[in-house]
Every structure is written in C-alpha cells, then in structure tokens.
C-alpha cells in the first residue's frame, strides 16, 4: 500500500519540489497543509498550486485566531524578545504548524509528516520536536535537509520533472506571519552592509515617513492589548492596525546578529511593527504597576521563556510552568500607554493605570510630599550594614597580602 505523508506547504519553490520528491523517493501520496497565520499570501492560489503539482489532498487551515490567542498573547505577556531584539515571530508559528501537521496526518492516516526546512536553521528543530512530542509514531521527513540541492539545482530539478513553478524574483528568503516578517540571504549575508530597501515590505523607510509624528495609545487588560487609539478591536484587527500604523512611520525594522540553535551566527533582518510597539508599551505598563521584586524576577523568567521558544521547546513543561508564573503577574497589568512614533523612532511618552504603584505624594519634589525624609536615615543605617562591616575588614585583608597569602606566595615563586 502506498504510504501517505502530510507536508507543510507554502507554495514556494522548496515545498513544491518536495511534493514530487516525496512521491518519487518515498513512494508516497502527499497531502499538503497550509496554515494561514496572517502571512498575506493568497490561500486560494496556494491550494490551486498544490493540486496542479499533484498532491492527493490539500488543507488550508485558518489558524490566525489560535495563533494570536495561544502563542502571540503569551509572548506579549512575556515581553518576548530573543537576545533582546527578535520578537520570535517565526519561532512562535512553527510549533503551531507542527501541531496542525500532526492533526492532518492522523486524520489522513499518514505515517509521516514532512516540511521544507533546511538542516541549517532553527525551524527544523521547532517542527521536528513538536511533531515527535505529540505523536512519536510519526516519521518526520525533511527533504531539503536530505537532498542538499542549491537553489539553481532545485529550479533545474523542477524543470526536468515538469513541476510548474515560477521562481520568485525575490533574492531573499522570507518568512511572514501576523507577528512579523523575516528576511535572510542574498545581500543580507554580509553583516557589514546596510540592508537594501528591497528587503523591506511592511515598513516605509524612516526617511520617507510622515513629517508629523504619530501617536499610538495602546490599552491593555490583564496584559493583553484591547483598544488602540480609543477604539476597541478584535485581536486580529488590533495587530493589523498596529502593524500598519507603526510601519507607516518606519517603526519595527530590526537588524540582528543572531545566534541560531545549531551554533551558526546569522544576520537577520526583521520587520515587526506591531510586536515592537506592543511589547514596548506592555513592558512600560508593567513598570508602572508591578513591584520592583516582580519586575526583577520576571525579567529572568522572560529571558528563559524566549530562549525555550526560540530553541524549539514550545512543548517543554518548563515553558508551561513559566507561563503560569507570567500569567499570575498580569492581574494588574491594565491601563494604557502612549507611544510617539516619528521617522523610524518610537518612544513611550505617557502611561496610566488604575493599579499604578506610582504615588505622586511620595515621588514629588514639590510641596506636600508625604514621604518622611528622616525615615531614610534609619533605612540607610541598616541597608549598608554588611558593606560597612566588610569595609572595616579591608585593613586586615591588606595586611595579609603584605605578609603573603600561601596562594599568592606560590604564584610569585613560579
Ligand atoms: N532566524 C529566525 C528564526 O529562527 C527566522 C527564520 C525565518 N526563516 C526564513 N526563511 N526567513 O526564528
């Protein structure tokens, strides 16, 4: 009996060649699966292409709401930026693709899933780990990892096999979803040179942005953005609105020297207008409403969270546990933050919350301060206690160094 393989299908060159390759090398029927994660592709066209190439069946899955609810929202609450910069847009989408591949494979009676990731990146890890954790019986096939063809060889292969592809004019390898757009390869591979304008699609060049600043007022309810510029919006609408608004001011371009999981350093160029604006606003609101102890500890948790997600361990129980902690900190993260956007720059210029820990009566240098300055004296006495005692011992330490500690003595004799 011919086996069935469920293939994650984008409609591009790689995954188009994959269909034929799986049919021939693995003697398999191929069922293609395309997720709509808000990547702005024509889903109807992708489905047509799949049928044309000879897939046995095709699934178009609108996963935008699930992606926002279960992947993007936790990332917002975690202020998730890998290495302090990358909002994890691609990284968040992969485990969901893995999950849907497993669902389709089980439904279609497939014994394997396949994807078009190379052996050099993070995406293979993210999908493979997810699939194998969800259903260890499924084999994972990554043709691109196996065949080792260059892009030109792939085009040749496609021509030989009569696979109807029109190789895109883009010199960049692009991945997009509603949380961001990533571009790699071509001229971007030289980290010393500025990315050409053609690498960008979601943002205008800061030089071309409007001469008037724009304001984004983002309101959060328990850590999740709910209204923008006074209008309450569905999550999907809200993210598209912020993407468009911030992008029109040239905000959201990220040029990042990134450490891939497999050890390669790579130069990545991202456009993440909504992610950049929303995370900046969210983080600022937290600074208003969380205690310094919460903030300090949460920063460590955020780093770990971003690392787990980046490195393909979405299903790791630690990630779920960290999410529970993060979620517990969000009860008071309700309020609004005002961002000022101007020619590629973005600044928080105001914030307010009913749970604000900021107390004007305590902070003011003006009249009517409630803070008893004399209480600082006793506080300082105790705060510096150990430092004082340690400093008083310095004279002894110096004495010992003059005589020569056994360890320093031995060193000197060498
Ligand atoms: N470096 C990013 C990540 O690992 C993005 C990779 C996206 N892939 C691409 N073909 N552009 O998440």
Catalytic residue chosen out of the listed positions 49, 89, 123, 283: 123
Host domain of residue 204: 174-290+333-358
Q: What is the pLDDT of residue 413?
A: 62
Which of 122, 140, 168 terminates a domain? The answer is 168
pLDDT in tens, 323-381: 999 999 999 999 999 999 999 999 999 999 999 999 988 998 888 889 999 999 999 99
Which of 349, 341, 348 has its CA nearest to residue 206? 341
Q: What is the pLDDT of residue 166?
A: 72
- Among the atoms of ligand 1, which is closest to the Cα of residue 183? 11
Buried b (16+ CB within 10 A) or exposed e, 184-194: beeebeeeeee
Active-site residue 94, yes or no?
yes
- Among the atoms of ligand 1, which is closest to the Cα of residue 174? 11
Ligand 1 binding pocket mutation candidate from 37, 175, 264 (most atoms within 8 A of CB) = 175
CATH number at residue 215: 3.90.1260.10
* One domain, residues 158 and 204: no
| Cα 223 to averaged position of ligand 1 atoms, centre (Å) | 27
Ligand 1 binding pocket mutation candidate from 10, 71, 151, 184 (most atoms within 8 A of CB) = 184
Q: What is the pLDDT of residue 42?
A: 95
Catalytic residue chosen out of the listed positions 10, 14, 50, 253: 14
* One domain, residues 114 and 81: yes
Low pLDDT (below 70) residues in the chain: 167, 405-414
* One domain, residues 162 and 178: no
Q: How many domains does the chain divide into?
A: 3
pLDDT in tens, 239-266: 999 999 999 999 999 999 999 999 999 9
Query: Is 363 among the domain residues?
Result: no
Query: Is 319 among the domain residues?
Result: no
- Among the atoms of ligand 1, which is closest to the Cα of residue 123? 4
* One domain, residues 190 and 83: no
* One domain, residues 188 and 46: no
Catalytic residue chosen out of the listed positions 16, 29, 94, 253: 94
State pTM to two decimals. Answer: 0.94
| Cα 283 to averaged position of ligand 1 atoms, centre (Å) | 25
* One domain, residues 133 and 243: no
* One domain, residues 161 and 221: no
| Cα 182 to averaged position of ligand 1 atoms, centre (Å) | 6
Query: Is 305 among the domain residues?
Result: no
Which of 168, 200, 218 terminates a domain? The answer is 168
Which of 168, 195, 226 terminates a domain? The answer is 168
- Among the atoms of ligand 1, which is closest to the Cα of residue 172? 11
Ligand 1 binding pocket mutation candidate from 75, 92, 122, 256 (most atoms within 8 A of CB) = 122
Query: Is 410 among the domain residues?
Result: yes
- Among the atoms of ligand 1, which is closest to the Cα of residue 310? 12
* C-alpha to C-alpha distance for 281 and 273, rounded to whole angstroms: 12
Q: What is the pLDDT of residue 290?
A: 98
Which of 125, 127, 95, 123 has its CA nearest to residue 113? 127
Which tokens in the block code for residue 276? 């950049």
| Cα 90 to averaged position of ligand 1 atoms, centre (Å) | 6
With a CB cutoff of 8 Å and minimum separation 6, the contacts of 387 are none
Helix (H) or strand (E) holding 43: helix 43-53
- What is the largest distance, in Å, between two alpha-carbon atoms of the chain? 86
Query: Is 395 among the domain residues?
Result: yes
Query: Is 237 among the domain residues?
Result: yes
* One domain, residues 181 and 280: yes
Query: Is 299 among the domain residues?
Result: no
* One domain, residues 189 and 135: no
Q: What is the pLDDT of residue 344?
A: 98
* One domain, residues 164 and 26: yes
CATH number at residue 132: 3.40.50.620
Residues within 6 Å of ligand 1 by CB: 90-91, 122, 173-175, 182, 184, 258, 268
Active-site residue 173, yes or no?
yes
* One domain, residues 164 and 223: no
What's the DSSP call for residue 36?
Answer: E
Residue 392 CB coordination number (10 Å): 9
| Cα 175 to averaged position of ligand 1 atoms, centre (Å) | 7
Q: What is the pLDDT of residue 410?
A: 62
* One domain, residues 108 and 182: no
């Amino acid at each position: 009996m011919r086996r069935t393989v469920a293939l994650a299908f984008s409609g591009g060159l790689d995954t188009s060649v994959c269909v034929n390759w799986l049919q021939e090398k693995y003697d398999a029927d191929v069922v293609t699966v395309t997720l709509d994660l808000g990547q702005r592709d024509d889903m109807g066209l992708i489905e047509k292409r799949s049928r044309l190439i000879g897939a046995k069946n095709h699934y178009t899955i609108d996963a935008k709401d699930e992606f926002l609810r279960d992947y993007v929202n936790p990332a917002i609450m975690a202020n998730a930026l890998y290495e302090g910069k990358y909002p994890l847009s691609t990284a968040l989408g992969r485990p969901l693709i893995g999950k849907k591949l497993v669902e389709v494979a089980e439904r279609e009676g497939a014994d394997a899933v396949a994807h078009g990731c190379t052996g050099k990146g993070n995406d293979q890890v993210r999908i493979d780990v997810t699939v194998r954790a969800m259903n260890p019986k499924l084999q994972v096939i990554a043709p691109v990892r196996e065949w080792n063809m260059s892009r030109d060889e792939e085009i040749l292969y496609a021509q030989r096999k009569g696979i109807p592809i029109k190789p895109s004019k883009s010199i960049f390898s692009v991945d997009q979803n509603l949380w961001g757009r990533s571009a790699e390869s071509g001229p971007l591979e030289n980290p010393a040179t500025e990315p050409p304008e053609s690498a960008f699609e979601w943002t205008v060049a800061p030089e071309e942005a409007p001469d008037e600043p724009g304001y984004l007022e983002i309101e959060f309810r328990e850590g999740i953005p709910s209204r923008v510029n006074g209008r309450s919006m569905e999550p999907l609408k809200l993210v598209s609105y912020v993407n468009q608004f911030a992008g029109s001011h040239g905000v959201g371009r990220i040029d990042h020297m990134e450490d891939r999981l497999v050890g390669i350093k790579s130069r990545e160029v991202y456009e993440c207008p909504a992610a950049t604006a929303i995370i900046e606003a969210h983080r600022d609101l937290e600074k208003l409403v969380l205690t310094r102890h919460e903030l300090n500890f949460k920063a460590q948790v955020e780093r770990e969270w971003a690392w787990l997600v980046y490195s393909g361990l979405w299903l790791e129980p630690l990630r779920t546990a960290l999410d529970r902690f993060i979620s517990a900190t969000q009860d008071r993260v309700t309020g609004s933050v005002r961002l000022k956007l101007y020619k590629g720059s973005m600044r928080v210029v105001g914030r307010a919350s009913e749970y604000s820990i900021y107390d004007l009566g305590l902070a003011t240098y003006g009249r009517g301060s409630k803070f008893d300055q004399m209480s600082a004296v006793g506080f300082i006495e105790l705060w510096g206690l150990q430092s004082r005692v340690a400093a008083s011992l310095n004279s002894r330490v110096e004495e010992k160094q003059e005589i020569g500690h056994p360890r320093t003595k031995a060193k000197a004799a060498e």
